[in-house]
Every structure is written in structure tokens, then in C-alpha cells.
Chains A and B, each alone.
Chain A
Amino acid sequence: MNGWILSAPIAIPFAFAVIAFLFRHSPLGRWISVLGSLALLAAASILMNAVLEDGVVATQMGGWPAPFGITFVADLLSAVMVVITAITGLAVSIYALGDVDEKKERLGYHGLFQILIAGVVGAFLTGDLFNLYVWFEVMLIASFGLLILGGEREQIDGGVKYVALNLVSTVMFLTGIGILYGMTGTLNLADLSGAVKEVENTALLTVVAIMFMIAFGVKAALFPLFFWLPASYHTPAFSVSAVFAGLLTKVGVYALIRMFTLVFTADVAFTHNVLLWIAVATMVTGVLGAAAQTDFRKILSFHIVSQIGYMALGLALYTPLALIGAVFYLVHHIIVKANLFLISGVAKRLTGSTELSAIGGLYRASPLLSVLFLIPAFSLAGFPPLSGFWAKYLLVKASLDVEAWIVAAAALIVGALTIYSMTKIWAEAFWKPHPAGVEPGLAALAPAERAALVAPIAALAGLTVVIGLAPEPFLQFAERSANQLLSPEAYITAVLGSAS
């Protein structure tokens, strides 16, 4: 039974990817993609239900017992990541009904999108290090395709940088896997957790830990490895950059959290301290980069970098409260960030550009969109009572608890600077009149298109408000999840059985 629960969220997007690809010349293809996302959400809910009941759910592919076979395992963190992936996937595939043109559909947009989702879900559910590498590649090759789909010059230019840096990170990951395997003789994450404690050469273990930190740091866009992100995220279709912004970097953060709570805990004083200062540098450089930009999507891209810093901060502090904050932040950020990119797409559609100096007038002409922008924008900056406030509050509280004053101060100042860039977008795109005199009202869109574009934005904004107004159940969930991460016995027992 566990086998089905765990493999369905991976098998469903793959199946729908094939069908959507076959129907790429027909308008049916986009509905197949929406249907696939709905089915994934159902499968993810079943998985979440099972995890809430049983704690940790694990299965062995092909019936080979762990640590010899490939393990799939879901604890609370994996389960919530799969659910939030499904929600984002559904929102973006509905948005794509109005956003992706037929040319891109014929090139196989919907198929690639479903494969990307499958890769992301696979990375969250696997319990095997080499298998994690394979899921990273699935995700990567689908994202390459989506990024350059359409073949604009800008896209090719951004794509070169994205592909080059991500391939280097992949090779780094692979080398790390090789050396870790040579030291421990296993690749199963639960088994590794015990095996690394028997390694005599702890210095080499720390070196490997840093290799993994670099490899996942590139994926997660940590300082100073984030340059591919602002070079490429503003170039593809809006639905593509929304799903990238929401999910891809978070897979890197998830992998960091998984490896640095389960496997690399031997030298926390060194590795997590390095990560702490990287996190601070990431927050600060990201937000300063955003302050210097004048393009809607480029500002948002730099803010991804800055927010990734907060999540890494939660992991680096490595206290229960900080990990609660990191998990909460992860979930909140995926919803908010994907939503902001979706809004930038509507803004482009209505005003004709994303360059802030060339647009304006959205507040007068489409007040609904303005409200829908303010919710995620304020949440990103950390205004109460929205979800971002609780996420930031937890992390600042956690850093004050361990008397990391500089870190807490950095987190607060970066929050203030986030407001600055959001105000810039608000003042330029929404408040000032359009320089060319355009009245960018939502009524200009065809009704079906308007529904497809605005409904997912409204739904995600609603989710942000719900998390913000009733944070208690979400906090309790994050707390249970953080406890599982800090004492991984349940995870290990679920994979290896109670005998070991």
C-alpha cells in the first residue's frame, strides 16, 4: 500500500506528461496538463494524510530491502513539499491556459512542465542519494527545455548561463556522492546517517559536506553561487518563471536541509557556522541587488536570492525554533513568490512591459490586481498578519535566542529593504500614470483568459491570508516536522526497519 501512496505522486505527472505531449497540437493538451495537476494534488493529499497518521511512510522499489534497493520515503517535510508542489503546479497550469501561446504548446510546453513537476516531486520523496542526483537531472533537463522554449535571443543568453552553472554544480554533486560512497559504502540516506558516524577520517567528511553545500548551494542560489538566477529567471514565459521561482531553488534548500540534518551532523560547529554566514551574505546581496534593478521580474528574481538566505539561516542556526522557522518559511515562500511572478505576467499583459519606467496606471485601472499584488508583496516583506510575518518572526526570535545579534539585525534590515523594493514596484507600476497613457484595465482581457490568469493569483493570495490569520495549525505542523528532522530515528526506522 505504501508503495502506491509514494509512487503515485511521481507516476501521475510522468503519465500526464506523455499524454500532454501527444496532444501538443490540440487545445486538449492544456486541459490534460490541468487534469494532471489536479490528479497530483489528490495523490499528494492522500500521501499527506498517510504521513500525518503514520509519522514516516517508506517503501522499497522492486522489493529489494534497504539499503540495497532504492528507497522512497516521506516524512512530514517531504509530504508538505509535495503538497505545496501540487498546489503551485495546479495554479501555474491554470495560469498557463491564458499565458502560454500556441507556438510554445506545439513545442511541448505542457509535457515539459509535467516532467519538471515529476522531477521536483521525485527529489522530495527519494531516500537514496544517487537517486536524488537522478531526480535533479530530470528536473534540470525539463527546466532547460522550458527556459529556452520559444528561442528568443534573451532566453538563449540567459539559458547559456543557467545551463553552464547548473551543470558544474551537478558534477560537484556527483563527485561528492562518489567520495561519500567510498568512505561509507552506502548511498541510502537513512543508512548513511548511521554510517558516517563510523568514518574515522572526519576531516574528509567535512570536506565532502562542503562539496555538497556548494552543489546544493548553486541549486538553491546561495551567495556567492547565485549568478545564474538573476541572469535567466526574467527571460522565459511568465508561467515558467513562476514555477521556477516557486519550486526549483526550494529543491536545493530541501536537499540542504535533508543532508545537513540527517547525514552531515558530525561537525555542526563548523559546517553550520559556515552556512550561517553564507546565509547572511545571501540575504544582504540579494536584497541590495533587487534595490538596484528597475525591471519587475528582475527585482523579484533578486528577492528569491535574498529569501533563500532566510531559509538557509533557519537551517544554519540549527535550533528547534530555527528549523520550525525554516520549514514555515519554505512553504510560505513558494506560495508568495510564485504568485508575485504570476502577477508580473498579468501586469506585462495589461501594460505592455515589465520595465518599471515604461509602465504604470495599474492602481486606477485595475484595483483588484492591485489588492492581489499587495497581499503577497506585504507578505514577502513580513507585514503582520500575513504569512511572511510569522516566518520572519520565528527566524528573528530563533537568532535572538542564541544571541546571534548580527544575524538578527541583518534579517530585520533585509526585511526593511524588501519593503523598499516592493514600494518601488508599487509606486512605478501601480501608482504613477502610464507614460503612454494606456488604461490597463483587466476588462481588456477576454473573459476566459481573465479567469485563467486571475483565479490562480486570487487563490494563492487567499492561501497567504489564511496562513497569516490562522498560523496555529501550520506552526504546529512545522514544529512536528522540525522535531522529526532533529531526531531522525523515526525516519531511519521507517526505512531500515526496527532491527538495525
Chain B
Amino acid sequence: MEVLMAILIGVLTAASVYLMLSENLVRFLFGLILLSNAANLTIFTAGRIDSSAPPLIPVGADAPLTEVANALPQALVLTAIVIGFGLFAFALVLTFRAYTELGTLNTDKMRVAEPIEGEPAAAETRSAGEARS
């Protein structure tokens, strides 16, 4: 099972690196989602995968009586998913705003904050007003 998970994580990471190297911002975001899923699976796998009992402690006992599954990685992954979801939602809205304001999704052409000396910023070619309409 661990081997399968490791291969899956590897494939996800490879695909995400491919996507993130693209100059298109939306592809970058897709890559980011894949990468954060790979990270979550890493935590999940690092917590050892086995088919033991659920981590429940019977009434009156202080500790589980038999071998139980490790509950901590799941709690960590859940937290990471929730945080990742929030951040991704923000990044998506920001990308949309960048498209309407700057008129491009090509990261190489986003030079408003750091214009190349002597050249008009490439993203200026389509003004914000036109992009909105």
C-alpha cells in the first residue's frame, strides 16, 4: 500500500511541477492544487497505513486496549485541506481580478509592478476599462 501511495504522490508531484512551469496562471493554480494534495497524501502515508481498529477508547479505560489506527495524521490532513481550500479560493479570485485588471493570464506579461525599463508594460496594451466591458 505504501508503495502505491508513494507512486501516486510522485505522479501528482510530477504533474504539478509540469503545470506550475507553465506561463499561464490558471495552469499554475491547477498545479498548486495537485501539489497540495500530494503533500496531504504524504502526511497521510507518513502516519502509517494499516487496517487496524478505529481509535476508540472503551468507557472506563484510559488507553485503547488493542492496536488502533493513528488518528493524528487524519486530523493534520483535515486541517491542511481546510486551510488549503481557503487559500486556493483566494488565489482563484485574485487570478480572476488579475485577468480583468491586467487583461492577461500570461505571467511573463504581468509587468505593471515591475515595468521593464524603456518598454511600455506589456499588460498596458489592454486597459482595465476595456477588459471589464
- Contact across chains for A177 and B20 when beta carbons are under 8 A apart: no
Closest residue of chain B to A235 (Cβ to Cβ) is B113
Does B30 sit at the interface, judged by CB under 8 A?
no
Given A168-B32, A174-B43, A175-B38, decide whether A160 and B94 contact each other with a Cβ distance below 8 A: yes
Give A256 to B110 CA distance when docked, in angstroms: 32
Give A386 to B38 CA distance when docked, in angstroms: 49
Out of B39, B48, B128, name the residue touching A178 (CB < 8 Å).
Answer: B39
Q: How far is the CB of A108 from chain B (nearest CB, A)?
A: 14
- Contact across chains for B28 and A182 when beta carbons are under 8 A apart: no
Give A171 to B73 CA distance when docked, in angstroms: 16
Does B14 sit at the interface, judged by CB under 8 A?
no
- Contact across chains for B42 and A137 when beta carbons are under 8 A apart: no
Q: How far is the CB of B117 from chain A (nearest CB, A)?
A: 9
- Contact across chains for A175 and B39 when beta carbons are under 8 A apart: yes
- Contact across chains for B112 and A160 when beta carbons are under 8 A apart: no
Write out, one digit per residue, whether chain A residues 158-186 have a CB within 8 A of any chain B CB (1) or not (0). 11110110011011001101110111000
- Contact across chains for A130 and B76 when beta carbons are under 8 A apart: yes
Does A151 sit at the interface, judged by CB under 8 A?
yes
Chain A residue numbers with a CB within 8 Å of B65 are none
Does B35 sit at the interface, judged by CB under 8 A?
yes
- Contact across chains for B112 and A137 when beta carbons are under 8 A apart: no
Write out, one digit per residue, whether chain A residues 298-314 have a CB within 8 A of any chain B CB (1) or not (0). 00000000000000000
- Contact across chains for A171 and B36 when beta carbons are under 8 A apart: yes
Does A477 sit at the interface, judged by CB under 8 A?
no
- Contact across chains for A134 and B83 when beta carbons are under 8 A apart: yes
Chain B residue numbers with a CB within 8 Å of A337 are none
- Contact across chains for B87 and A137 when beta carbons are under 8 A apart: yes
Chain A residue numbers with a CB within 8 Å of B42 are 175, 178-179
- Contact across chains for B95 and A160 when beta carbons are under 8 A apart: yes
Closest residue of chain B to A178 (Cβ to Cβ) is B43
Give A144 to B87 CA distance when docked, in angstroms: 9
Chain A residue numbers with a CB within 8 Å of B95 are 160
Out of B35, B86, B97, B107, name the residue touching A156 (CB < 8 Å).
Answer: B97
Q: What does DSSP make chain B's interface, helix, strand, loop or mixed?
A: helix
Closest residue of chain A to B77 (Cβ to Cβ) is A178
- Contact across chains for A174 and B25 when beta carbons are under 8 A apart: no
Chain A residue numbers with a CB within 8 Å of B90 are 141, 144, 163
Does A140 sit at the interface, judged by CB under 8 A?
yes
Chain B residue numbers with a CB within 8 Å of A429 are none
Q: How far is the CB of A211 from chain B (nearest CB, A)?
A: 11
- Contact across chains for B43 and A151 when beta carbons are under 8 A apart: no
Q: How far is the CB of A171 from chain B (nearest CB, A)?
A: 5
- Contact across chains for B123 and A159 when beta carbons are under 8 A apart: no
Give A417 to B90 CA distance when docked, in angstroms: 39
Chain A residue numbers with a CB within 8 Å of B24 are none
Between B42, B44, B114, the greatest number of chain A beta carbons within 10 A of the residue's beta carbon is seen for B114
- Contact across chains for A148 and B123 when beta carbons are under 8 A apart: no
Out of A137, A163, A230, A231, name the residue touching B94 (CB < 8 Å).
Answer: A163
Closest residue of chain A to B123 (Cβ to Cβ) is A157
Give A171 to B91 CA distance when docked, in angstroms: 14
B contacts with A, residue count (CB < 8 A) = 39
Chain B residue numbers with a CB within 8 Å of A130 are 76, 79
Write out, one digit per residue, whether chain B residues 14-30 have a CB within 8 A of any chain A CB (1) or not (0). 00000010000100100
Does B80 sit at the interface, judged by CB under 8 A?
yes
- Contact across chains for A181 and B47 when beta carbons are under 8 A apart: yes
Give A386 to B103 CA distance when docked, in angstroms: 48
Given A141-B86, A157-B102, decide whether A168 and B20 contact each other with a Cβ distance below 8 A: yes
Out of A141, A157, A174, A234, name the residue touching B39 (CB < 8 Å).
Answer: A174
- Contact across chains for A157 and B98 when beta carbons are under 8 A apart: yes
- Contact across chains for A167 and B91 when beta carbons are under 8 A apart: yes
Closest residue of chain B to A147 (Cβ to Cβ) is B94
- Contact across chains for B73 and A153 when beta carbons are under 8 A apart: no
Chain B residue numbers with a CB within 8 Å of A133 are 80
- Contact across chains for A160 and B110 when beta carbons are under 8 A apart: yes
Does A101 sit at the interface, judged by CB under 8 A?
no
Q: How far is the CB of B75 from chain A (nearest CB, A)?
A: 9
Q: How far is the CB of B24 from chain A (nearest CB, A)?
A: 12
Write out, one digit per residue, whether chain A residues 388-425 have a CB within 8 A of any chain B CB (1) or not (0). 00000000000000000000000000000000000000
Write out, one digit per residue, whether chain B residues 77-121 have a CB within 8 A of any chain A CB (1) or not (0). 001100100110011001101100110000100111110000000
Does B46 sit at the interface, judged by CB under 8 A?
yes
Does A267 sit at the interface, judged by CB under 8 A?
no
Out of A156, A175, A231, A234, name the residue touching B98 (CB < 8 Å).
Answer: A156
Does B74 sit at the interface, judged by CB under 8 A?
no
Considering only residues 139-156 of chain A, those with a C-beta below 8 Å from chain B are 140-141, 144, 148, 151, 153-156
Other A-B pairs beyond A155-B113, A158-B113, A178-B46, 4, CB < 8 Å: A167-B87, A174-B43, A183-B46, A234-B113
Closest 8 CB pairs of A and B: A182-B46, A178-B43, A178-B42, A157-B112, A158-B113, A157-B113, A174-B39, A175-B39
**Can you list 12 A-B contacts with CB-CB less than 8 angstroms, sorted by A residue number?**
A144-B90, A148-B94, A157-B111, A157-B123, A159-B94, A160-B25, A164-B91, A171-B36, A171-B39, A174-B40, A181-B47, A182-B46
Residues of B near any A CB (own CB < 8 A): 20, 25, 28, 32, 35-36, 38-40, 42-48, 73, 76, 79-80, 83, 86-87, 90-91, 94-95, 97-98, 101-102, 107, 110-114, 123, 128
